[in-house]
Amino acid sequence: MSNLVTIYGGSGFVGRYIARRMAKAGWRVRVAVRRPNEALFVKPYGAVGQVEPILCNIRDDNSVRAALKGADAVVNCVGILAESGKNTFEAVQAEGPGRIARLAAAEGVEKMVHISAIGADADGESAYQVTKAAGEAAVLEHMPTAVILRPSIVFGQEDEFFNRFASMTRLGPVLPVVGAETKFQPVYVDDVAKAACMAVTGDAEPGIYELGGPDVDTFRELMNQMLDVVRRRRLVLNIPFFAASIMGGFFDFLNAISLGLIPAQITRDQVKNLRNDNVVSGNTKTFSDLGIKPMALEAVLPDYLWRFRPSGQYSEIKESAKNLRA
C-alpha cells in the first residue's frame, strides 16, 4: 500500500498544488478541511480514491487526531490574513500548528511540513507576525525534525493578490495601495509546492527555508508589472500608513459590528505588516539548498491575468489586427 499524507488546508491556494504533486508522486492524499463538500475538486488529482477530502477543524484535538490516523507525513497549510469569529490568529496560526505537531508526534508520524511566512517574528509589531512565529516554535517543540517553509507573497492562478488588484483596475483610473515602497519577493505557488513535496519525501533537510522568487520589487513596481499585463493605464496611488491605519480601524469596526458579514478591505494588522519588507533574509536555507530554480513572475502573470484586459481573450487578436495593412 502506498504512503499516506494528510494535508491540513489541502484545498486552499497552496495546499491544492501540494496535493496534486503528492498524488502524482503516488502517495495517497487526505485533504483535511472544514468544508469537504467544497473541496471535491481535489479528487481528480489522482486515481479513484487516491485523494479524499475529509472534515477537520484544527481548533479541535479529536478532529486533528482523526485526520492524521495512519498517516506517514502531515503538511499544515492553514493560515489566515484576517481574523474572523473563532478563527483568530492565536487559534489558527499559533495553537493550530502546535496541535497538529503534538498529535502527529504522539501518533508516530515521521515527517511534518509547516507552511509559515517570511516575516514570522516573535517580536513583530503585528499579531500575524507574532502568531506565525509562535506556530513555528510550537511545531519544532513537538517535531524538531520538521521542515518549515516561509514563502514571500505567493502568486499563481488562484492567488488573492494579483487577481484582487487586477480586478480593481476595472473600477477607475486610480489604483490605491498601502506601502508602495515596501519590497516583496513573489514566489510561484508550484515552486512552494515542489519544496513541500521534497520535504515530505525526505529530499529536504529539516529546518527553516525562506522561499522567494528570482526578483525583488516594491509594491508599486509589482502593480506596474500587473498593469502592463492587463493592458491598462492607472495611477498607482500610495496611501500613507497613518491614513491606512485609520481606514483599517474603521473596517475592523464594521466587520465586528456586522459579525463578519462585512469583510474588512484592509485591517490595522495588515497595515502593520505592510511596513516591513517581505524578502528572503539570507539567514536561513532557501530554494538553492533544494536545487529549485524559482519561476519568474513575468513568465506566469500573463497566463491568468489576461481576463482582466479590456478585451479579455481577444486582446492579442485585436493588437495583431492593428498591424494589418489595408
Which DSSP category does 86 fall into?
T
List of domains in the chain: 4-156+185-214+278-294 (3.40.50.720)
- C-alpha to C-alpha distance for 36 and 152, rounded to whole angstroms: 28
Query: Residues for the chain: how many in total?
Result: 326
Tens place of pLDDT per residue across the chain (326 aa): 589 999 999 999 999 999 999 999 999 999 999 999 999 999 999 999 999 999 999 999 999 999 999 999 999 999 999 888 888 999 999 999 999 999 999 999 999 999 999 999 999 999 999 999 999 999 999 999 999 999 999 999 999 999 999 999 999 999 999 999 999 999 999 999 999 999 999 999 999 999 999 999 999 999 999 999 999 999 999 999 999 999 999 999 988 888 777 888 899 999 999 999 999 999 999 999 999 999 999 999 999 999 999 976 656 666 666 666 54
pLDDT for residue 325: 57
Total Cβ atoms within 10 A of residue 307: 12
pLDDT for residue 321: 63
pLDDT for residue 24: 97
Question: Which residues neighbour 47 within 8 Å (Cβ) at sequence distance 6 or greater?
Answer: none
> Which amino acid, one-letter code, is at 126?
S
**At 169, phi and psi to the nearest 5?**
-65, -15
Total Cβ atoms within 10 A of residue 61: 11
| pTM for the model | 0.93
Grid coordinates representing 134 are 509562535
